Every structure is written in structure tokens, then in C-alpha cells.
Amino acid sequence: MQLPKCGHRYCQTCLDIEQETIIKCQQCQAESLRNDEHLDQFHSNGKCEYCGEQFNSINKLNEHKVFKCRHLIVDCILKGFGCNERIIRVEMQDHYLTQQHQHALLNAVHQMLSQLNDRQTDIEHSRTTTAGPCNSATAQSEELYEMLSILVGGIETLANDEQRLATEALKMQTAIPTLTEELSKVKLSVEESNAFLEGVKHNQAILNQDLLSLQEKINDLQYISYDGTLVWKIGNFHEKMIDAQSERQTSIYSSPFYSSPNG
């Protein structure tokens, strides 16, 4: 922004951080009176460059970036303990479950335990050298130390479980190609079996038809006439009529009959 007194330009971010009533120019040392209403009205840049949301003042924009913007890239809260990854704020919950963050959490807890242990040692030393009462502080330190020890044990158990699950997942992933190949073989075998069964069904249908024909011939032989007369009983007449109309079988034949046993 441009200072009204001297005309020199001043960093808006630095101005928001300082929060001074009188602004002192860093170039000419001229002092200008801060006017927040003027700054918000004429020097606002109210669009968040991370998510694109619009604001009507710089202060609201800065507050949005610090506390609310879900697309802002931020450092992990355990950066000082070895987790140096920069994460989009909306993905922070997923980052907490990563192996890198879990190791950093273990480092943080171990350091806290070490500091508590050192403090407890100092308290014990102080108790032996001074007569002042420190039972309450010692009890609180011991309780906190015990809680952190339990927490460390739980975190280490979770880390071991995570490692075990990762190993099992790797084994499963390795076994997937073999299982896929076996599944393909099973599918091929099923298809071959289905084709074989279709062939068996077709052959069975042919055999059933031959059996029916043979049965009809046997029946015809039972009713052969030798006196020149024949009573022709047509079975399944309705079906035979449909076959004739559809031209599947346009004719039927009676069983042979004779005028005498000799012909």
C-alpha cells in the first residue's frame, strides 16, 4: 500500500502484523496515521489465492487463511519432530495416519518422556537437598509420566499393527496375480464343462427321439393285422396335426397289415 504522508509504498502484510496506530516509513522515517477503514475500503485484495473465496477486507482474508481455508498448504504440527511434509489443510486428517507422522509422534512423545524424566530427577535431587515441600508437583509429574508411558505403548502397538497389516497387504498384493491366473483357469474349465454338457444334452435328445421311434415300432408290431382289416389308432393326434401344419412332419404312416398270415 502507499503511505498517505510520504507516498512511499509499504508491505500490507507487515502492516497487518504490526497493528500500530502510527505507521513509520522505513525509507524516510515519516510518520502516517493508520486508517483501518481506508485500508479495508481502498487497499483490499479480498480473494484467497488458494480456494478463490472472495472477502471484503484484508483482515477477513487473513483470518480466513490462518484459520479456515481448507486448501491452504501448511506445515505439519510435528515439523520439529521430523515430519517435514507440507499438506493441504483439508487432507490433514489423512496425513495423521501416515507412517511418517506416526514416527514423528513417537519422537515427540519420547522427547516429552525424556524431559519429564529429567524433571523428575531434578525434583528428586531438589528434595534431597532442600526441605521445601514438592510432593504435589512430584505426584503430578509421576502421573503425567505414567500416562505418557501408556500412550507410548499404545502408539508402538499401533505402529507394529500398521507394519503387520502392511506386510499382509503386500503378501495379498503379491498373491493377486496368481489368484487371477487360477481364476482364469477355473473360468476356462467351467466353459469347457458347459460345452461338454451341451453336447451331452444334444446326444441325449437324439437318443430319446430314437427311443420313441423304437417304441412306436414295437407298438406297431403288436397290432399287426392278418385278416385284411386294420384299426389305426393315432396317438398324440393334436401334436401331429401341429407338426403337419408347420411342415415339420407332413405325413404319417400306419403299421403294416396283411390279408393272411402268409401275405
In tens, the pLDDT along 109-166 reads 778 777 777 766 666 666 555 544 556 666 666 767 776 776 777 677 777 888 888 8
Euclidean distance between CA atoms 174 and 168, whole angstroms: 10
In tens, the pLDDT along 45-92 reads 578 888 888 887 777 888 888 888 888 888 888 888 888 888 888 888
Q: Is 142 helix (H, G, I), strand (E, B) or coil?
A: helix
The string of DSSP codes covering 94-113 is HHHTSHHHHHHHHHHHHHHH
| Residue 82 identity | G
Element (H, E) at 213: helix 135-222
Residue 207 grid coordinates: 437318443
- Indicate the pTM of the whole model: 0.35
Euclidean distance between CA atoms 169 and 181, whole angstroms: 19
- Asked whether the predicted pLDDT for residue 214 surpasses 60, the reply is yes
Euclidean distance between CA atoms 152 and 106, whole angstroms: 7
